[in-house]
Amino acid sequence: MDLGEVNHQRIKTNGIWLHVVEKGSGPLVLLLHGFPEFWYSWRHQITFLANHGYHVVAPDLRGYGDSDSPLSPSSYSVLHLAGDLVGLLDYFGEQQAFVVGHDWGSTVSWHLSLFRPDRVKGLVAISVPYFPRDPVAKAIESFRGRFGDGFYISQFQEPGRAERAFARYDYLTVMKKFLLINKNDLLIAPGGMEIIDHLQTPAVLPPWITEEELQVYADKFEESGFTGALNYYRAMDLNWELSAPWQGAKVTVPTKYIVGDKDIGFDAYGIREYVQGDTFKGLVPEVEVVILEGHHFIHEERAHEVSQEILTFLQKLSVEYLYRQLPCQENNEKSAVF
C-alpha cells in the first residue's frame, strides 16, 4: 500500500526514545499497535484519517520497531506505557488526543484513559476490551490455573523461552503464524508443545495482506527481535500490583469498542457475552460496541470499515464538543449585552 509522504522522527519521552510516524494536520489521533506489530499495522488508517483532517501519530511502542527497548520486563508496566504517551502529547503541545488501540495497544489505551482521562478526548479500542482488576489473584496465576502451561501467555513468561522457540523458524514464517491466525478459540498448545509450533502456517494468503507486507513485518522484527514485545506479557503481574489504587474504577471517557466476531476467544472465552452485557457497560459507561465480521487483526482485514468506524466516532465527538460550547458562547454574548 502506498502511504504517500509521512514524517518519521524519534521523540524523547519518559526517559526513552520513541520512533513515530505522523501525517496530516488537525486534532491529534494516536494509533497504538499490538503484538506482534509496529506502526506499520496502521498503514490503512494513517492516510485515511489524515485525509479527513486529523494529525495522525503512530508510534512504535517501547520495545518495538525503531523505538528503545529496555532490557528489564519491569520497564514495561502500564504506568511506563501510559507515561510514554503523556510525553508524546506534551511534545506535540496537546492537552488531549483521540486514542485508538489494537490488542496490547488497546490495553495501553484503556489504562491511559483510566489513569489520565483528562488527556483523552475519546477512545477506540479494538479487539481487547477493558477487564476489571481481579482483587485477589494475579494475572499469571489465574491464567496458569485456568489454562495451564500450554496457554501462550503462560509460555511467554520465562525469559528466553519463546525467543528460542520462535528462532526455529524464519521471521516471515513467525509473522504468518501470528498475523494470519484464523482460529477463534484460545491459543493453547497441547502438552509438551510450544505455541509457535502449534500455530499453523497458511498455505494461501488471505486477500487483505500481501507477501510483501508480511515481509515488512518480518524485516523489522529481524532487526529488533521479540524480547521487547514479549516483555509486555512478562510485566502482567507487575501491572496487577501497580494498578491496585484503581481497583473498581471506571473508564469514563467516551469509547467505541470494535471486535471481530471470529476474534481469538470471542466466543470460547465469553467475550461476546461480556461486551454485550451489563458488566462491561457498568465499567465503561460511555461505550458503544461494534461487532464486525472478521478475526483478530480486524483493522487490517476489514481496513476500510474499521477506518470508517473510527472516523464517524471522532466526528461525532467533535460535533458534540462544539455543541457543548454553544450555550457558553450564547451566555457570554448575553452577559456582554447586559
Residue pLDDT, tens place only, 13-65 = 999 999 999 999 999 999 999 999 999 999 999 999 999 999 999 999 999 99
In degrees and rounded to multiples of 5, residue 12 shows phi and psi of -80, 120
Stretch 226-232: mean pLDDT: 98
Query: Is the pLDDT assigned to residue 1 strictly greater than 80?
Result: no
- Residues assigned a catalytic role: 103, 233, 296
Residue 258 lies in a domain: yes
Q: Number of helices (H) and strands (E) in the chain: give both, helices first.
A: 15, 8
- pLDDT reported for residue 2: 67
Examine residue 235 and state whether it is found in any structural domain, yes or no: yes
332 part of a folded domain: no
Task: Report the CATH number that the domain containing residue 167 is assigned in CATH.
Answer: 3.40.50.1820
Asked if residue 2 belongs to a domain, the reply is no
Does residue 274 sit in helix, strand or coil? helix
Within a domain: residue 333?
Answer: no
Quote the number of domains for the chain: 1
For the chain, what's the residue count?
338
Please give the single-letter amino acid code of residue 97.
Answer: A
- The domain containing residue 203 runs over which residues? 7-325
Asked whether residue 334 is assigned to any structural domain, the reply reads no
Q: Is the pLDDT of residue 79 over 80?
A: yes
- Among the residue ranges 82-91, 173-182, 251-260, 317-326, the one predicted with the least confidence is 317-326
Q: Is the dihedral of CA 267, 294, 140, 101 positive or negative?
A: negative
Q: What is the pLDDT of residue 140?
A: 96
Question: Could you tell me if residue 201 is inside a domain?
Answer: yes
What's this model's pTM, rounded to 2 decimal places?
A: 0.94
pLDDT-derived band at 320, boundaries 50, 70, 90 = confident
Look at residue 328 in the predicted model and tell me its pLDDT. 53
Residue 76: inside a domain: yes
For residue 324, name the pLDDT band (cuts at 50, 70, 90).
Answer: confident
Please report, in angstroms and rounded to a whole number, the separation of the first and last CA atoms in the chain: 59
Type and span of the H or E element at 330: helix 303-337
**pLDDT tens per residue across span 247-306:** 999 999 999 999 999 999 999 889 999 999 999 999 999 999 999 999 999 999 999 999
Q: d(Cα 13, Cα 34) in Å, to the nearest integer?
A: 20
